[in-house]
Structure 1
């Protein structure tokens, strides 16, 4: 057996040797080089050109570009690497959000839209609206949401209905508002809905049987809600409620200031409590109207990302400075009040360009802030379109996406900026609740806007006349409710709480 196994092994070795010898030699005995086959790899193709627009735009101009690793200039070694990264995002909105710096912590206000026509309309005050401006809150310990009416826009659908400031609503088309459904019910695709109104008693809200049907239209809201003169003792006080900085209404604002001036006012109460911001140039114009004695002095300065800042400093340093003006954008003269003091009413809904007015007037005149702390938005944005220079002209016809990223931060002439927690009022408005106290507006005692007994205005008038430094006993007697803010109607407009300017080229 051992001999048989040994013979089999020898035969196998001989066979393998012969086989290898034949495979390694040609017939003529020369060595044959092995054939190497290389397969050419196709380059990666871009799946979505919108993603390319988003990355390039943010890489170019985003305020925090240097702080986002995925926006670094040397992030991608090859075009294939770049396209592979972009193709990993199937939805443009996800890419945009993923490239923001500490989204909802530091950057709370950059946004992407899929319809820039709608965005452009919002800059002129036009949007799908029924004219009802409201806040949304929830009672402590509950996920149920209810709304309260802040004001009704003039000449809107809501202005023709039986709705008043200070009323509460609990349902939409019969459905209870909750944290999960309020966005879809109030700001979804439905242009018409019916609100179910409610009353609050002993910190409990319940339907009262009243219902109102409202319809959204393509509506342009005049941001000047109220402009009037109040005689307080021997003093004529102007009261201007201004709800958004919109350049298309600068002429109307100029007329409003002229009316106050013609009536001989010596004091001004500027109500910005529901003003989420808007055009920087309109903020400069309003500030110049309130004063008038600081033409061409520095109103604010801007700080952009390093790439833009270095370029602008070297080529157009003056563009980083905004100055008080004596004219509107069309060079027509503005009306001025030449005041050395202004009283400004604020809430957490006071944002952006509204805060810019307060912060940038403070080095020059006495700004008396009344109410509660503001939003805390000291940054501004520009609109970027998918074109070679990010302008509207020659924008990519294949889509209507546009970006509104934060690109600069503002500071006043003394360099004050970065007010993350908002601007703190000189006179904080408070009210009593069942569990302690609240700050800002008391939902059970909002009062009538422009009325001398409305709590915020009442406080301003008491400071102007020197009659008292406290709210009236009547205002203090309304027991407030304990609630948590959820959102407000302006959060769902394309502009939102935005401050914007034009792109510097």
Structure 2
């Protein structure tokens, strides 16, 4: 889920007055001018942005910086619109401040990070793995210490085998100091530190102090492959064989790794499935469709995974839009669609991974968004039972067609909202989020590591087996609470949202 937090006040709702914050990007560069880049961006938005009717009526300033961190042509222009409420969503922070989240984004990264990793083994869609420097924090949050008035960081998930994992840092570990210094409870102070911890520049070293023990540990960032499959195991309880997977993002580069885990579930003969998508903000639609296909099995054969509604001008020219998207136009429903991939999926036979389940359990929070919600909605569209446990999802029912271009030492990814998605029953995800069937808080005075004693999973296991699984007692964390409504930079290195690749690149 790409989220851009934008504070606003009622008096500052004009295109020029609204403040904005862009996704984090890497440096300046390229040989083109601001106007030449903005001309590319403007042309793409004018043709494909879901609300291009209003966009075409606007006066657009092509001299605005095209990829600045805090204010750029894309964000300033789209924030000045009024009809794009599914892109520019209004929220209220924990401090009572109103702000907008803008899903559309543009990112830039050094071309040295082009896709040079190993090719996928069985899946041949061309999306390749990329290494990145990291300490191994798959998810990190910010907390406030009421007794000191300072801020800290808490671990929400780590990559197996990473420096953080080897150091014994687990979900629930809280850091009170970084490099020997406390962290001020100010967004301008902890955001740069957060960036250092989640996307370090090279093989940087950082000293971490664990609040509970006072122990200090130095970690050095390493080149990692951020495999989104954080955990996959089979829990056996009586006649139940329960597959449990923590999946952190729909990155098509790791489709083979996802299929490997699903094959293990199939070979183990699982009877039930708990899919942990609590921090999964989405990613590639092709991977979402692949996963949903494997869960449903034969029941999804020949059925619609998702319908697409594009802007009015594109819907009025089905032949051109079908060529652009690779999706088929259904004249009766006046929507484009794509079916599940039961059978061949870019060289992999998904029949060999099919679980054929009639009901599954999904663990969710407000960070569960986009392609994650598309999987839930798509399965419900063909009457697969999906029980949600945790917290209400994000409510992002729109997605992007990615446009990429290179210039100089940089590669650019432009991803404006271009479609709204629906399942086979023509139901879309509620923009307010998908309500859970069983409410369980993610933060329950502390985080418990993934496993049967974690409260959300414990609830799922109880529902499946009829036994009572008692969550692990949380260690005291009195006076500590996550800071809500903060504007932390998204990591531009990994896919998030509901991203559709061009027909020439895997879709």
CA deviation map 1:137-194 (0-9, x unaligned) = 3439897432111222023222222322211012322333331122212315644242
Structure 1 residues 59 and 473: alpha-carbon distance in aligned structure 2, compared to 1, 3 A threshold: closer
Aligned residues of 2:237 and 2:465 also touching (Cα < 8 A): yes
Cα 1:328/1:493, change in 2 over 3 Å: farther
Q: Is the 8 A contact 1:116 1:402 kept in 2?
A: no
Q: How does 1:280-299 map to 2 (within 5 A)?
A: 280-292=285-297, 293-299=299-305
User: What is the match of residue 166 of structure 1?
Assistant: 172
Aligned mate of 1:414, from 425, 431, 453: 425
In structure 1, the residue matched to 2:44 is 57
**CA shift digits 1:98-149 (9 cap, x unpaired):** 2215545376221112327458689846433221133323439897432111
Number of the residue aligned with 1:383 = 402
Distance 2:275 2:418 in 1: 28
How far did residue 97 of structure 1 move?
Answer: 1.2
**Residues 338-384 of structure 1 deviation map (CA, whole Å, 9 limit, x = unaligned):** 11000111112212111111111113211011111112222211222
CA separation of 1:220 and 1:304: change in aligned 2, threshold 3 A: same
Which of 383, 390, 395 is equivalent to 1:371? 390
CA RMSD between the two structures:
3.2
Alignment partners' CA distance in 1, 2:495 and 2:348 = 29
Q: Please identify which structure carries the higher helix content.
A: 1
Residue 255 of structure 1 aligns with which residue? 260
1:477-503: per-residue Cα shift (whole Å, max 9, x none)? Answer: 977754433569883344464220123
Structure 1-normalised TM-score? 0.75
Distance of aligned partners of 1:417 and 1:123 in 2 relative to their CA distance in 1, 3 Å threshold:
farther
- 1:210 Cα deviation after fit: 2.0
Map 1:266-305; keep pairs closer than 5 Å. Answer: 266-292=271-297, 293-305=299-311
Superposed, which structure 2 residues align to 1:75-114 within 5 Å? 85-87=61-63, 89-90=64-65, 92-93=67-68, 94-101=72-79, 103=88, 105=90, 108-114=102-108
* Counterpart Cα distance in 2 of 1:489 and 1:295: 41
Query: 1:253-290: CA deviations, max 9, x gaps?
Result: 22222211221211111111121211101111111111
Taking the aligned partners of 1:104 and 1:494, their CA distance within structure 2 comes to 24
Query: Equivalent residue for 2:370?
Result: 352
Is 1:472 the equivalent of 2:459? Answer: no
Secondary structure of 1:449's counterpart equals coil
User: Does the 8 A contact of 2:156 with 2:172 survive in 1?
Assistant: yes
**Aligned position for 1:492:** 491
CA contact (8 A) 2:300 2:342 kept: no
Cα 1:472–1:155 change in 2 (3 A) is: closer
Select 1:323's aligned residue among 339, 343, 355. 339
Residue of structure 1 in register with 2:140 after alignment: 135
Could you tell me which runs of 5 or more consecutive residues in structure 1 were left unpaired when the two chains were aligned: 1-45, 77-81, 201-207, 387-394, 430-438
The 1:90–1:405 alpha-carbon spacing in structure 2 relative to 1, beyond 3 Å, is closer
Whose Rg is larger?
Answer: 1
- Of 184-193 and 372-381, deviating more is 184-193
Matched residue, 2:230: 225
Instruction: Determine if contact 1:125/1:246 at 8 Å carries over to the other structure.
Output: no
- For residues 83-108 of structure 1, give each alpha carbon's deviation from its aligned partner in whole angstroms, at most 9, with x where no partner exists: xx423x24544211122155453762
Q: Secondary structure at the match of 2:153?
A: strand
8 A Cα contact 1:276 1:498, kept in partner = yes
Tell me the matched-pair count: 421
Query: How far, CA to CA, are the matches of 1:119 and 1:372 in structure 2?
Result: 36
SS of the residue 1:369 aligns to = strand
- Greater displacement, 343-352 / 111-120: 111-120
Contact in 1 for aligned 2:403/2:413 (Cα 8 Å): yes
Change (3 A) 1:143 1:406: farther
Match of 1:404 in 2: 415
Q: Structure 1 residues 488, 153: closer, same or farther in 2, change over 3 A?
A: farther
Say whether the 8 Å CA contact 2:66–2:74 is kept in structure 1.
Answer: no
Q: Counterparts of 2:432 and 2:241 in 1: how far apart (Å)?
A: 34
Instruction: Kindly indicate whether the alpha-carbon contact (under 8 Å) linking 1:349 and 1:375 is maintained by their aligned counterparts in 2.
Output: yes
Tell me what 2:245 maps to: 240
CA distance in 2 between counterparts of 1:259 and 1:490 reads 35
CA contact (8 A) 1:167 1:197 kept: no
Question: 1:223 Cα shift?
Answer: 1.6
Match of 2:191 in 1: 183
TM-score, normalised relative to structure 2: 0.74
Secondary structure class of the residue paired with 1:302: strand
